[in-house]
């Protein structure tokens, strides 16, 4: 009798599990029928401008000063990139009203666009609301679609509640948010004055390159600690005066 009861329990549990799986699959299938694909944007800022910049010492035959740890001669090539996150900002104080609690905005509020989706044949931008998982749907001209959306299992589900913007001309405007610049050294060299050691004047000759600028070599060079002409890797430097803290010099053509 006990074995029969256990057997019946196993069958019932298996049936319940299968029933639950069936309804879950049906729910997902139904959701896919009434939901929309989402083209998610990258979470990384995009490069909107890139240029190569070259910096080098160009004051030849002028008296210059380098303090300990500073560059005497250098030539650097940088990849200068301008990065920006795709964002929109609200044009004025207002709200998006429905029978439920309104969504309030302050002029200048900036929000990141996380993707696009096609609804009724039109592309709508997805802008996160303050409620996790819910998004405002925004047309190309920045006006609000009449309903909000919810992201479920990576797809967009349109909510039934309709919203009315107040004032009527409340809308989002394009905004390039979080604009930053980064400089990546890609090629070049640097000769750095390191002061006076027991063995004489010390310099560090550093080269760098590669796509990230992180590939390079360091070499320590030493010369007598006195005024005179130096030739460091083809760079002619005339030392006028020098001590452990500073060096006065000129760069010769």
For 75-94, write each residue's pLDDT tens digit. 888 877 776 667 889 999 99
Helix/strand/coil (H/E/C) assignment for every residue in 7-33: HHHHHHHHHHHHHHHHHHHHHHHHHHH
Q: How confident is the model over 191-196, as a mean pLDDT?
A: 96
Lowest mean pLDDT, pick from 9-13, 98-102, 138-142, 156-160: 9-13
Identify the pLDDT of residue 215. Answer: 65
The domain boundary, picked from 178, 205, 227, lies at: 178
Identify the pLDDT of residue 46. Answer: 63
Q: Are residues 108 and 159 in the same domain?
A: yes
Number of domains comprising the chain: 2
Q: How confident is the model over 43-56, as a mean pLDDT?
A: 75
> Is 37 part of a structural domain of the chain?
no
pLDDT higher than 60, residue 54: yes
Q: Are residues 151 and 223 in the same domain?
A: no
CA distances (Å), origin 96, targets 112, 125, 144, 196? 18, 16, 9, 70
Quick one: pLDDT band at residue 20, thresholds 50, 70, 90? Answer: very low
- The alpha carbon of 179 is separated from its chain's Cα centroid by a whole number of angstroms, namely 9
Q: Are residues 173 and 226 in the same domain?
A: no
pLDDT higher than 90, residue 144: yes
Give phi and psi for 28, each to the nearest 5.
-65, -45
* Contact (CB, 8 A) for 137 and 149: yes
Average pLDDT across the chain, whole number: 81
Q: pTM for this structure?
A: 0.49
Quick one: pLDDT band at residue 48, thresholds 50, 70, 90? Answer: low
SS3 253: coil
pLDDT higher than 50, residue 198: yes
The more confidently predicted of residues 212 and 154 is: 154
Q: Are residues 218 and 102 in the same domain?
A: no
Identify the pLDDT of residue 42. Answer: 77
Report the percent of the chain where pLDDT is more than 70: 77
> Is 96 part of a structural domain of the chain?
yes
Identify the pLDDT of residue 7. Answer: 46
Domain limits for position 199: 52-81+182-251
Q: Are residues 190 and 76 in the same domain?
A: yes
For 124-133, write each residue's pLDDT tens digit. 999 999 889 9
Identify the pLDDT of residue 50. Answer: 75
Q: Are residues 69 and 94 in the same domain?
A: no
For 88-128, write each residue's pLDDT tens digit. 899 999 999 987 667 899 999 989 888 899 998 888 999 99
Q: Are residues 154 and 238 in the same domain?
A: no
Identify the pLDDT of residue 169. Answer: 94
CA gap 99, 134 in Å, rounded: 17
Q: How confident is the model over 174-191, as a mean pLDDT?
A: 72
Identify the pLDDT of residue 122. Answer: 86
> Is 41 part of a structural domain of the chain?
no
Quick one: pLDDT band at residue 10, thresholds 50, 70, 90? Answer: very low
Identify the pLDDT of residue 81. Answer: 74
Q: Are residues 158 and 224 in the same domain?
A: no
End-to-end Cα spacing for the chain: 105
């Amino acid at each position: 009798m006990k074995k029969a009861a256990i057997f019946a329990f196993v069958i019932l549990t298996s049936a319940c599990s299968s029933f639950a799986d069936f309804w879950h699959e049906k729910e997902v299938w139904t959701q896919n029928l009434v939901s929309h694909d989402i083209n998610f944007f990258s979470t990384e800022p995009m490069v909107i401008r890139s240029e190569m910049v070259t910096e080098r010492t160009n004051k030849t035959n002028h008296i210059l000063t380098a303090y300990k740890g500073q560059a005497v001669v250098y030539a650097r090539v940088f990849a200068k990139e301008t990065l920006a996150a795709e964002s929109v900002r609200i044009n004025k104080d207002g709200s998006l009203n429905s029978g439920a609690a309104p969504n309030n905005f302050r002029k200048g509020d900036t929000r990141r666009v996380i993707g696009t989706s096609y609804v009724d044949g039109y592309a709508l931008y997805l802008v996160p609301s303050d409620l996790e998982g819910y998004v405002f749907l925004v047309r190309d001209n920045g006006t609000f679609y009449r309903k909000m959306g919810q992201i479920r299992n990576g797809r967009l589900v349109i909510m039934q509640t309709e919203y009315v913007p107040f004032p009527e001309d409340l809308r989002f405007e394009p905004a390039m948010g979080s604009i930053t610049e980064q400089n990546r050294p890609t090629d070049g060299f640097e000769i750095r004055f390191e002061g006076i050691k027991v063995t004489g004047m010390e310099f560090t000759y550093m080269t760098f390159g590669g796509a990230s600028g992180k590939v390079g070599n360091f070499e320590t060079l030493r010369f007598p600690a006195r005024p005179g002409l130096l030739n460091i890797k083809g760079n002619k430097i005339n030392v006028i005066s020098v001590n452990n803290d500073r060096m006065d010099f000129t760069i010769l053509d």
